Amino acid sequence: MNDADCETDEEQDFEDPNGALRSFAAVLKAFRKRARLTQEGLGELIGYSAQYIASVEQARRYPSERLVELVEEQLDCFGAVKGAAQYLTRPRRVASWFRKWALLEPTALSLYTYECRMVPGLLQTEGYARNTFAERVPPLQDGQVEAQVVGRLERQHILADLPNSSFSFVIEQSVFDRHFGGAEVMREQIAHILEMARLRNLTVQIMPRDQTDHAGLDGPVSLLETPDHQWFGYSEGQRTGVLISDPKEVSILQRRYAKLRSQALNPADSLGLLERTRGTL
């Protein structure tokens, strides 16, 4: 068995909502046929199994960077294969039920999140994220914790990579009252949120604990707008997650989120509350 046969990326049964994986698969197949090679022949040429090549061409698994480089070199693809690969957004180190949503995040025009359990993953510091994974039951091994932390921090790149997209977060005050991870972790976490809130395309609102009317009693929810202006919702529970695409259901979630924003503190008052909370730690 050669190195390519030891690829750690397992074949997955997931959707490709942005179409980038299917586009890459079509480009790869076209250049293979141009070279008059079978899947077996291409595999032998670059050191991969025919099964691996077939899975990539059927858009059932992501290509490794090594495969992209070797195909480009061996088949003289004029940069086309590399060009197709650059649009691939791979949902690494995320739970299986989150992969579909993770594929949508990196190209979102709008991304709205209501959270009542913890600081949203896109806003977590390394210390806060490490504590969330270290507290898992059953416990994760050290290597698994590290991989999960890296994956979470990688997701956060979209906040810098999408300066023209809109990000909105509504977070319960109780999340900060809990002091999860200890005072120092929470101080650092609040400071990070205050810094992120300086971005022109990102708003943070706190739902005060004494708010008597509340539209989010059904739990956390996220909403996302794609580049073609299609909206999706995402709801997560214990070891489960649901991607919501039905326009009627998404519309209900949009109305609830709009209500949540009207019930939460405005952005300026929210940051003031966070400043005061940090001062008590």
Nearest to 102 by CA among 258, 243, 247, 196: 243
Query: Strands 110-115, 166-172: parallel, antiparallel or unpaired by DSSP?
Result: parallel
**What is the rounded CA–CA span in Å between residue 69 and residue 13?**
25
CA-to-CA separations, 88 to 97, 118, 169, 177, 193, in angstroms, rounded: 19, 30, 27, 39, 29
Contact 136, 170 (CB under 8 A): no
**What is the rounded CA–CA span in Å between residue 177 and residue 118?**
11
What's the predicted TM-score (pTM) here? 0.70
Q: What is the pLDDT along the chain (281 residues), one digit of tens a residue?
A: 443 333 334 444 445 656 888 899 999 999 999 999 999 999 999 988 788 788 889 887 778 778 899 999 999 999 999 988 887 765 555 666 787 888 788 778 999 999 999 999 999 999 999 999 999 999 988 888 888 888 888 889 889 878 889 999 999 999 999 999 999 999 999 999 999 999 999 999 999 999 999 999 999 999 999 988 999 999 998 888 999 999 999 999 999 999 999 999 999 999 999 999 999 99
Per-residue pLDDT tens for 90-106?
Answer: 555 566 678 788 878 87
Nearest to 2 by CA among 51, 66, 56, 48: 48
Residue 227 DSSP class = T
Domains located in the chain, CATH noted: 13-85 (1.10.260.40), 96-279 (3.30.870)
Nearest to 14 by CA among 67, 65, 55: 55
Per-residue pLDDT tens for 101-135?
Answer: 887 887 789 999 999 999 999 999 999 999 999 99
